[in-house]
Amino acid sequence: MRSVLLLLFIWTWTSSALVRVPLKRVPSIRSQLRSEGLLQEFLKENRPDMFGRRYSQCFPPGTPSLRLGRSSEKIYNFMDAQYFGDITLGTPGQNFSVVFDTGSSDLWVPSTYCVSQACATHKRFRAFESTSFRHDGRMFGIHYGSGHLLGVMGRDNLTVAGMTAKNQEFGESVYEPGSAFVMARFDGVLGMGYPALAEILGNPVFDNMLAQKLLDQPVFSFYLSRKTASGTPEGELLLGGIDEALYNGPINWLPVTAKGYWQIKMDSLVVQGVSPFCSHGCQAIIDTGTSLIAGPTEDILNIQQLIGASPTNIGEFIIDCARLISLPRITFVLGGKEYTLTSEHYVRKEMLGDRMLCFSGFQAVDMVSSEGPLWILGDVFLTQFYSIFDRGQDRVGLATAKQPVVV
């Protein structure tokens, strides 16, 4: 797969850096499988829940976590990821496209020793060609519906937009199951969650950058554009700060309620002025690695009914495109501020041959935390709002994203 050429800009403030990583937006794997007529077969083979998520655990199943004294079961979503950018591993550098994912904390890329069909279509890390590589010897695994993504761990220099973090822990996958990875436009995943979410022992990438004092501030921010004009970036990850040119109005800061995912409190969810969901408050995570908005099954099915979405035989919900103008507004209340999405925001329009289809941007996943069920605010939400992740003060900031003019 041809790698994405990124424009790299580095602004130096004092002795540290503010680093821009332009992001490329591509159709989700779900939509690619659908266009190839493979989605129903994939869902049958992998038996995912309605959201298409997979459960991550250490390998082999039932053994202690790679971190001493702990076992774990965490939820990641790589299958619907849309936005990715480039990184370089090793000396000399080897390039990879990765999803910058706030819903996980590990970095992994395919290994040259990978035996799966998916690896044959992606770039693979050649440890023996890197003079700075250090073998670790431990194994890692992420469980998917059709089997485990398996790999071994190592350390090497990681470069993002010209900035290098030395001795970065990462995983080399040697087995990637299922057809979804074959279809993926990205090679691997770079997690940007808290260390508690990590399976790989050691600092996640952002923590390693902070420990090596590479950044001006312990902050990173995302701009994810849904529509693009000629010459307009499709998205941007900014490491070390905030870009005021990419949003309007004040930033609404929300404290992190649990340091694993970027988890916050959601006050309520309002549909056309009525608040039948999360009326007494609930928990939500801000997840750049998820395309859709997800919530508890019962609530999501009620939302699908309210927006006139009908289930299909491939586990998705479809809407009559002619009815979009009449669909209700849906408002998320966070920190006392309203974040409203219209049907133009929460309905995904996709071409299937010469026919336009409209799919609901909501799907169900029953994900439970100690504070109760979790909602997941993915890219359907984040394309409308500039998101800021502040590790220094453990908070998430949201502001209205500037939308490019379509020409």
The pLDDT tens digits of the residues spanning 362-390 come to 999 888 888 888 999 999 999 999 999 99
Residue 229 covered by a domain: no
**pLDDT confidence of residue 43:** 42
Residue 9 covered by a domain: no
Could you list the active site residues? 101, 287
User: Bigger pLDDT: 232 or 38?
Assistant: 232
Domain end among 189, 211, 233: 211
CB 316 within 8 A of CB 309: no
User: How many CB atoms are located within 10 Å of the residue 335 CB?
Assistant: 17
- Residue owning tokens 């929300």: 254
Residue 377 covered by a domain: yes
Q: Alpha helix (H) ranges present in 297-360? A: 297-306, 343-346
d(CA 248, CA 319): 31
User: How many CB atoms are located within 10 Å of the residue 69 CB?
Assistant: 6
**pLDDT confidence of residue 144:** 57
Q: Are residues 252 and 135 in the same domain?
A: no
**pLDDT confidence of residue 73:** 26
Domain end among 211, 235, 251: 211
Asked if residue 203 has pLDDT above 80, the reply is yes
**What pLDDT, in 10s, does the model give residues 256-276?**
999 999 999 999 999 988 878
Average pLDDT of span 117-144:
88
pLDDT confidence tier of residue 405, bands split at 50, 70 and 90: low
Q: Are residues 32 and 166 in the same domain?
A: yes
Q: Are residues 175 and 313 in the same domain?
A: no
Residue 251 covered by a domain: yes
Residue 178 covered by a domain: yes
Average pLDDT of span 230-256:
87
Q: Are residues 248 and 159 in the same domain?
A: no
| Tokens found for residue 123 | 């770039």
**pLDDT confidence of residue 233:** 55
Q: Are residues 43 and 115 in the same domain?
A: yes
Q: Are residues 112 and 250 in the same domain?
A: no
Q: Are residues 154 and 292 in the same domain?
A: no
Q: Are residues 251 and 345 in the same domain?
A: yes
**What pLDDT, in 10s, does the model give residues 305-330?**
999 999 987 778 999 999 999 999 99
CATH number of the domain encompassing residue 346: 2.40.70.10
**pLDDT confidence of residue 30:** 55
CB 107 within 8 A of CB 168: yes
Q: Are residues 372 and 248 in the same domain?
A: yes
Average pLDDT of span 199-228:
88
Name the nearest CA neighbour of 240 among 221, 223, 227, 255. 221
Which residues form the domain of 129? 14-211
Average pLDDT of span 120-125:
92
Residue 120 covered by a domain: yes
Number of structural domains in the chain = 2
User: Bigger pLDDT: 24 or 89?
Assistant: 89
Q: Are residues 256 and 207 in the same domain?
A: no
